Amino acid sequence: MSAAPGARCGVTLVELLVAVVLAGVVAAALCRVLQANQRFYRSQSEVLDVHQGVRAVAYVLATELRGLDARDGDLVSAGRDSVTIRAQRGFAVVCAPPDQVDGSVIVADGLTFGTRAVDPARDRALLFVDGGADSADAWLDFAVVAVSPGARCEDGSPGTSLRLSVAVGALARVAAGAPVRTYQRTTYRLYTDEDGLAWLGERHLVGGAWSAISPVAGPLRPGDGLALVLRDSSGAVTGEPPAAASVDLAIRGLSTVPIALPGRRATGQRYPDSLSVRVALRNN
């Protein structure tokens, strides 16, 4: 139908107010949904950080502890929330008779493995000695004085020379083919930073002095985020590191900020998580 002459199309004031009110209600509902989604995803991110932090602490400590031989002194000391170890950093094989005067050994480059190159300021070397039928096998512990690449093995293959701090003749029982392990004195412990957050931290013995502690993984619960218990071969708790056959780890994580998750009895609190691990030591 055609409009009457002179009539204008439009809405009344009441219709306009109703439309504005309905749009406001819809917009407010959408804002609440968006805010709820933001809080949920932020909370999920915090939960994921806690889960990953706890498992990262377990992985780092289990990897370091599993290769230790407590009877040979690899487990230097252990406390309630700290442990000092001879952390293995490399493996090599002697490929030529040692220089008895210079105190150096040549290791084959093709049989050298590790997390990094040998650093005289950080590393020491353990050389295996076959005692034969007359004496027991042993690992000789020496400081690394210098590292010189470009050496040659007995068969002409490329090698690296490690000059050790040893007395003349100390390498007399070391033969070609003997394994070499390099290690660094390292301490792992629970510590709290300047923001009040707790982490698994590490520090190393470098040049005869301990480095500043740095975070490795976390966040953890302050005070009791990490607990270690040494056990002997019978499973009994022991306070003597050389007698340890396994180490129990209790790791407790805590989110850095309060979060709110659907279904939790208490909202607006920091999210906790925990993990218990038993690590068997080498030659236990």
Evaluate whether 128 touches 139 at the Cβ level (below 8 Å): yes
- Condensed to tens digits (0 to 9), the pLDDT of residues 203-227 reads 999 988 999 999 999 899 998 999 9
SS3 category, 235: coil
Question: What is the three-class DSSP state of 97?
Answer: coil
263 Cβ neighbours under 8 A, 6+ residues apart: none
pLDDT above 90 covers a percentage of the chain that reads 59
CB-CB neighbours of 89 under 10 Å: 19
Higher pLDDT, 166 or 92: 92
Q: Which of 123-132, 221-230, 248-257, 264-273 has the lowest mean pLDDT?
A: 264-273
Q: Where are the chain's structural domains?
A: 45-85+185-280, 86-184
Burial of 15-36, coded b for 16+ CB within 10 Å and e otherwise, reads eeeeeeeeeeeeeeeeeeeeee
CATH of region 86-184: 2.40.30
